Structure 1
């Protein structure tokens, strides 16, 4: 596509964003909404509309070539991602569920379920490509040093009984083959004799008629089959075989996208070179003039203040903005009053008296009475950024004439406007130092006053500096380089390479009955598509962007709960692959025996979290997370000490802040054996992963068979296969496909197509996830804090509790009075 296509996409996204900003930032504040359902509909509608803007901006940013436009798009894109995460967090708090179903909103907005899919921004990996390549080289070098090679198979000594059994099996098999060969020859001879007798009896004409009948039947069946396939394709009930592989147009489009990304790098290099030359030019040409103009303005201000107040003013401190205060549209008297007021505030910083606190308390009580009961939108950390980004688009880019910039390279005038402000700030600091000394000389020469205020200011500065110093944590590895710590963790197998899987490889279809079931007061099990969405929102988007992670609702820990084989470990690896994160393995079984003792444990956690912070983003995976919070440790696991991290890990978790792109992900298939209270206290997000439903199984069988070299034809009844595989997980399905689609079976496809009956026997040998196990997990989740709130909300008790809490607070206040 052309440059104008992506400019149009960008413009359409800002038009929709303008409408949303008008709704979210109205002139008059909205009244609180009392109906929880209506309020959630408003939230969900905003969420869906922001997701559409997110998809448009991500596409525009990935394919735009203009370096200055890309910066403007990126600023708004990060803010939109942050707003999506805020709305998701608010929906969870209002509906008390991690999963939401918005079929009615999709229908109203004329969208499809695919339009709700959260895209993973491609710049997450692309802009960190050099860092990831360096890390791969470090991994390769460390593994080579460790001499990681395939070990030869170990020869085991056979016992006499085992050897006799093997010989017996081989001998019986040999005799069976001989007997089968002998019987086959007898059968072949009898068949040959029967055909010879029939040939003597049948005439030539009869033989010709028989051959014609068979041939015509074969040809007619072939024609009928092709006509049926054509009719199904025409009706849209079957896929055209030509569309199963990419066409020339699609390949050409993919090639154009790759070329545009190459041009992005070229234009970015030119842009960076131009910035250096523009800064040098501005400093050399306009710098001296700026400096002299500022000096003249400041001297004029000195004289005006002297004439108006009778004395020279105090020079503004650098912390207050320096001479930037002078250039505001204010009179000298107003500026002098402001400076004097600030000095008085600094000097009179005392604890508030009882009268002030009483007055404040009265005001707060009046405000509480005036506030209407109901649900309100939480304050957003991104709306101001969105408004600023939209204003920049409207003023700079919306009506910009770019007919002469066909190649979409940078514009020098915009660079000059941007860098002129930075240079002006830099020069102002230099001028402030000179003029501060000049003002002191003027005061000594004209006013004959000692600069007592200057000393007072210096004392204040010293007083401000001399405060209580925060205690810093001791760095146990201050004398070691990060490369050596990285190597140590790889050697100890605490730092691992993530498998090459993407989030889109976690297959699953949309849940089409979610809204209907909730309207019938039935809590639906989420689909695998819902799980993929939640993981993208809670893990991938915050870890991928530092700007988003710092201001978005902070998710430090996440627990994936589900039966074995539903893809929990795969999701952990997908998070690392989509964001380029390091994967640390602190599973109880992996930690056992490493860094013994209390000091060793402290050292291990210190090294892991130090490397995780310095080489962020990072994912710390805890497999079999229930072992860390066992109610009672089994006898066979006491030596492994699975609860080793229970005390120290939560302490370190508190030190993770918004700027640290570190996420702890736990996985468990047996949460019942853990102490629920401790588990829920450590993991603030608990994601329940179910076994796949019918729609997801249908999609998975189809994709797995194709991925492993199979062919999906009309002979393979996928619908029946998806139905009979109810209760089986993704891991079971992968296992069955690998067992059937061998090289020999793939070679037989032209003569013997794949059928659903072939999958029945391998599936029958595997124990499925029974309904009882899934219900047990569902009941366990109902005991978690969010699960309890969801049950209360479904019963209509949540509103009663809130009103009773408000009443009790009011009673307490009256009692205090």
Structure 2
């Protein structure tokens, strides 16, 4: 991306952050709104603002290369995303649903639900180390000099082989054409064309290998359409002037000219019609009246993963240069400034000695290393001469008095702690009371947010540090050297002060000893309290049976066994679905809760929120996700999309794959988790996860031993996954009720894929049919198709279009119009038995099971039950 664009975007975004912080400062002071709908609206506005902010900041972070500024933008992105997730959780608590609808706020800002989608790959991708990425990638992204030479040699060999193969085929083709011409038109070919004769000789001996591989082509076509035999053709005289008279030749020429004229007129007419069609279509697009109804997908950032790793290579180089600059500057400062700094520190400590001796006739106790030594003198945390004089005049405290003083201090600390705890309890009770009354304390939500505080501090520090820096002039992304010098001076000063303190303590004791002699007082050296050295407890390394093996060998072993699978690249646009635009308008007037369920497109937002934790930023994420829904509802496609968007290693732990490791599951899972942690982000996939936790295994599946993995998931898979790990257990199920309760316990987040609605059905027919035949299906009854076949799942509709609109049918579209009954015939006639949409009872079964596993659905049911009881009493 151009430097100027990124710079201007950063300036506008920093202004927006300032305005957002001012708005949040005002919200901290407001009283909690009594109307729940008003609180919901305020939080929705904040959420939309943070969505826009996160999208801009991630784009800026991805294109910022200056090391010191990149650290600031990263802090802002991380905290803005954390605040975004906190706001979403608050909205879910109010909405009592995984799906939040804020259409009124979107309309006021002229946005659509699609604009709320946070995920933008590769801006959010977790960056693997390049050596790990090289193992995964077939084409190495980063290579050293030796690897580059070896790769270049391999490429040259491949190019040479390809050239030889092309030359062999070309020689054989020319030889076949020459032989055919000689066979059918020897005289014309040799005399009229006046070509030199090519010495072509083909010899073959039995069991003799060919020197050049030649592809044989068998010609079945007739080159000359005639009733004459080959002998007649061979004896034919091509001199037409002798065979025909002038009138006959003129008639032949007239026929040829007429034929050429007809061919040319047809070709010109075709070209003219094509040009007119393009101009007409361009005019429609220009005037905004384009007739073709084709789904327009949003143009998201089209950065490839390869481009991301190229940018990472540049950033890595800049990081290395920055680290080298720090080391060089530190070395220079140590060589040049060390003697003067030590002298300055020594003079400062001696001046401190002199000050106290001149005013009190004594020396202040030398600060202990446990309290950072004479740093206390610099920051004025030692006693003043007056305070020190008063302490000398005081009588020394007895042991009992010291004990009482310590007890008093402890009591005061405990009292403060208890008071703080009581305040927290009181505040929690107040908020609970407000929440039970349906009142949301927005001021507390904003003021207690740690990410907001961090953003405020970062922007305040940025405005101070960067006020005199012109970023526009730094097009080479050079670090600011003055800051490095200041930082290293501070570090070196603290290190040297510890060293100087050791020498000055000796001088201090000599002065005290001399003072004791002068005042005829017994001298006693002061005890030095040094900080306790932390004992590095050697943690026992867990036993690793694959310690002698490389990650490359483990990865390739799992890949060869089919456990690690290569998934085809998909993005979220491949999951064609529409959003619910009715839910916000059909709220209950009493409790403001939505009364219409989610549409299929709403599931994208829930999945993207779960994916944010898989990015390089520190964001909470679920360890395991389960997608439930009927067959062909898009579960496997969503898993494929998640793996593609994350650029994740896809590890299949379905029963079909794990049955081969039934004898040694511990060793198998150890390899899987070791590879997953090394190559993260990683997805551990279980297809039809209810089989693993099945109440009763069907006889036909008993040979696979599907339940063998169930007892290992909690301890061997979920427990080793840390919060910082980018690993997720992803499962699908079309019969979750057939599994035991352990299915719910092992999958922390369960997502129900809704049934296909009219909007989703319409978009499927429109998008897929116009992609197959955009010209012939310009005006088609998509709405009628969507309404009649709405109940079918998206996978069924996709398969129907692919089978019905095959190549043969598309070729006949110009003269044989496509009728809607052909799609109906696919469902009813071509399938045995006929394919019908999922029964209503089946979807109710999914909804009932999901209601027992989702906390928001449980809370909503309780509220509905209370509401029903109240209405019953009124009647």
TM-score by length of 1: 0.72
Deviation at 1:786? 2.9
Counterpart Cα distance in 2 of 1:114 and 1:277: 45
Greater Cα shift, 488-497 or 297-306: 297-306
SS at match of 1:525: coil
Could you say which residue in structure 1 is the equivalent of 2:348?
Answer: 300
SS at match of 1:647: helix
SS at match of 2:569: coil
Identify which of 848, 851, 871 aligns with 1:782: 851
> Is the counterpart of residue 581 in structure 1 residue 651 in structure 2?
no
Judged with a 3 Å threshold, the aligned counterparts in structure 2 of structure 1 residues 120 and 254 are, in CA distance, closer, same or farther, namely closer
Identify which of 379, 396, 416 aligns with 2:482: 416
Identify which of 473, 477, 489 aligns with 2:546: 477
1:50 and 1:84 in contact (8 A); partners too: yes
2:583 and 2:596 in contact (8 A); partners too: yes
Counterpart Cα distance in 2 of 1:660 and 1:782: 30
SS at match of 1:560: strand
Identify which of 488, 500, 504 aligns with 1:435: 500
Judged with a 3 Å threshold, the aligned counterparts in structure 2 of structure 1 residues 428 and 772 are, in CA distance, closer, same or farther, namely same
Counterpart Cα distance in 2 of 1:40 and 1:335: 60
Write the deviation string for residues 216-270 of structure 1: whole angstroms up to 9, x where unpaired.
xxxxxx9xx9999999868855457999999xxx99x989999999899768746
Deviation at 1:127? 5.1
Identify which of 436, 453, 466 aligns with 2:527: 453
Counterpart Cα distance in 2 of 1:255 and 1:684: 32
Could you say which residue in structure 2 is the equivalent of 1:608?
Answer: 672
**Counterparts of residues 629-708 of structure 1 (less than 5 Å):** 629-652=693-716, 653-676=718-741, 678-708=742-772
Deviation at 1:37? 4.0
Write the deviation string for residues 639-674 of structure 1: whole angstroms up to 9, x where unpaired.
433332333321342343222222112211111112
Could you say which residue in structure 1 is the equivalent of 2:823?
Answer: 759
Judged with a 3 Å threshold, the aligned counterparts in structure 2 of structure 1 residues 101 and 289 are, in CA distance, closer, same or farther, namely same
Deviation at 1:350? 11
Write the deviation string for residues 338-387 of structure 1: whole angstroms up to 9, x where unpaired.
xxxxxx99xx9999989976885566446544663324455434223322
1:306 and 1:313 in contact (8 A); partners too: no
1:498 and 1:576 in contact (8 A); partners too: yes
Deviation at 1:306? 7.1
Judged with a 3 Å threshold, the aligned counterparts in structure 2 of structure 1 residues 305 and 39 are, in CA distance, closer, same or farther, namely farther
Could you say which residue in structure 1 is the equivalent of 2:379?
Answer: 328
Could you say which residue in structure 2 is the equivalent of 1:465?
Answer: 535
Greater Cα shift, 106-115 or 394-403: 394-403
TM-score by length of 2: 0.68
**Counterparts of residues 95-244 of structure 1 (less than 5 Å):** 95-125=95-125, 128=128, 130=130, 133-137=133-137, 236=288, 238-239=290-291
Greater Cα shift, 128-137 or 384-393: 128-137
Counterpart Cα distance in 2 of 1:239 and 1:317: 81
Counterpart Cα distance in 2 of 1:633 and 1:242: 47
Counterpart Cα distance in 2 of 1:799 and 1:83: 38
1:702 and 1:712 in contact (8 A); partners too: no
Greater Cα shift, 264-273 or 788-797: 264-273
Q: RMSD over aligned Cα, in angstroms?
A: 4.7
2:96 and 2:859 in contact (8 A); partners too: yes
Judged with a 3 Å threshold, the aligned counterparts in structure 2 of structure 1 residues 622 and 29 are, in CA distance, closer, same or farther, namely farther
Judged with a 3 Å threshold, the aligned counterparts in structure 2 of structure 1 residues 298 and 611 are, in CA distance, closer, same or farther, namely farther
Counterpart Cα distance in 2 of 1:231 and 1:724: 35
Counterpart Cα distance in 1 of 2:609 and 2:568: 21
**Counterparts of residues 389-404 of structure 1 (less than 5 Å):** 389-395=458-464, 401=470, 404=473
2:785 and 2:820 in contact (8 A); partners too: yes
Counterpart Cα distance in 1 of 2:339 and 2:662: 61
Deviation at 1:10? 2.3
SS at match of 1:665: strand
2:366 and 2:505 in contact (8 A); partners too: no
Could you say which residue in structure 2 is the equivalent of 1:144?
Answer: none
Deviation at 1:506? 1.6
User: How many residues are matched?
Assistant: 691
**Counterparts of residues 497-576 of structure 1 (less than 5 Å):** 497-519=566-588, 523-539=595-611, 541-545=612-616, 547-548=617-618, 552-576=619-643
Deviation at 1:779? 1.7
Write the deviation string for residues 511-556 of structure 1: whole angstroms up to 9, x where unpaired.
11121233376643322321111111112x21122x32xxx33421
Judged with a 3 Å threshold, the aligned counterparts in structure 2 of structure 1 residues 762 and 659 are, in CA distance, closer, same or farther, namely same
Deviation at 1:563? 1.3
Counterpart Cα distance in 2 of 1:305 and 1:366: 46
SS at match of 2:527: helix
Gaps of 5+ in 1: 141-221, 338-343, 801-817
1:306 and 1:312 in contact (8 A); partners too: no
2:67 and 2:322 in contact (8 A); partners too: no
Counterpart Cα distance in 2 of 1:66 and 1:280: 19
SS at match of 1:716: coil
Judged with a 3 Å threshold, the aligned counterparts in structure 2 of structure 1 residues 623 and 355 are, in CA distance, closer, same or farther, namely same
Counterpart Cα distance in 1 of 2:424 and 2:859: 29
Greater Cα shift, 729-738 or 30-39: 30-39
Deviation at 1:440? 4.0
Deviation at 1:699? 1.9
SS at match of 1:382: helix
Could you say which residue in structure 2 is the equivalent of 1:792?
Answer: 862
Write the deviation string for residues 478-507 of structure 1: whole angstroms up to 9, x where unpaired.
443333332332233332223311223222
**Which structure's CA Rg is the greater one?**
2
Counterpart Cα distance in 1 of 2:745 and 2:303: 50
Judged with a 3 Å threshold, the aligned counterparts in structure 2 of structure 1 residues 88 and 751 are, in CA distance, closer, same or farther, namely same
Greater Cα shift, 494-503 or 45-54: 494-503
Could you say which residue in structure 2 is the equivalent of 1:289?
Answer: 337
SS at match of 1:519: coil
1:727 and 1:771 in contact (8 A); partners too: no
1:267 and 1:409 in contact (8 A); partners too: no
Could you say which residue in structure 1 is the equivalent of 2:453?
Answer: 384
Judged with a 3 Å threshold, the aligned counterparts in structure 2 of structure 1 residues 490 and 285 are, in CA distance, closer, same or farther, namely same
> Is the counterpart of residue 85 in structure 1 residue 110 in structure 2?
no
Counterpart Cα distance in 1 of 2:824 and 2:598: 27
1:716 and 1:754 in contact (8 A); partners too: no
Counterpart Cα distance in 2 of 1:703 and 1:324: 70
Judged with a 3 Å threshold, the aligned counterparts in structure 2 of structure 1 residues 258 and 568 are, in CA distance, closer, same or farther, namely closer
Judged with a 3 Å threshold, the aligned counterparts in structure 2 of structure 1 residues 798 and 683 are, in CA distance, closer, same or farther, namely farther
Judged with a 3 Å threshold, the aligned counterparts in structure 2 of structure 1 residues 420 and 327 are, in CA distance, closer, same or farther, namely farther
Judged with a 3 Å threshold, the aligned counterparts in structure 2 of structure 1 residues 66 and 697 are, in CA distance, closer, same or farther, namely farther
Could you say which residue in structure 1 is the equivalent of 2:230?
Answer: none
SS at match of 2:639: helix
**Counterparts of residues 690-769 of structure 1 (less than 5 Å):** 690-708=754-772, 711=775, 713-752=777-816, 754-764=818-828, 765=831, 766-769=835-838
Could you say which residue in structure 2 is the equivalent of 1:280?
Answer: 328
1:710 and 1:746 in contact (8 A); partners too: no
SS at match of 1:453: coil
2:758 and 2:786 in contact (8 A); partners too: yes
Counterpart Cα distance in 1 of 2:100 and 2:49: 15
Judged with a 3 Å threshold, the aligned counterparts in structure 2 of structure 1 residues 768 and 53 are, in CA distance, closer, same or farther, namely same
Counterpart Cα distance in 2 of 1:400 and 1:798: 65
Judged with a 3 Å threshold, the aligned counterparts in structure 2 of structure 1 residues 316 and 509 are, in CA distance, closer, same or farther, namely farther
Could you say which residue in structure 2 is the equivalent of 1:622?
Answer: 686
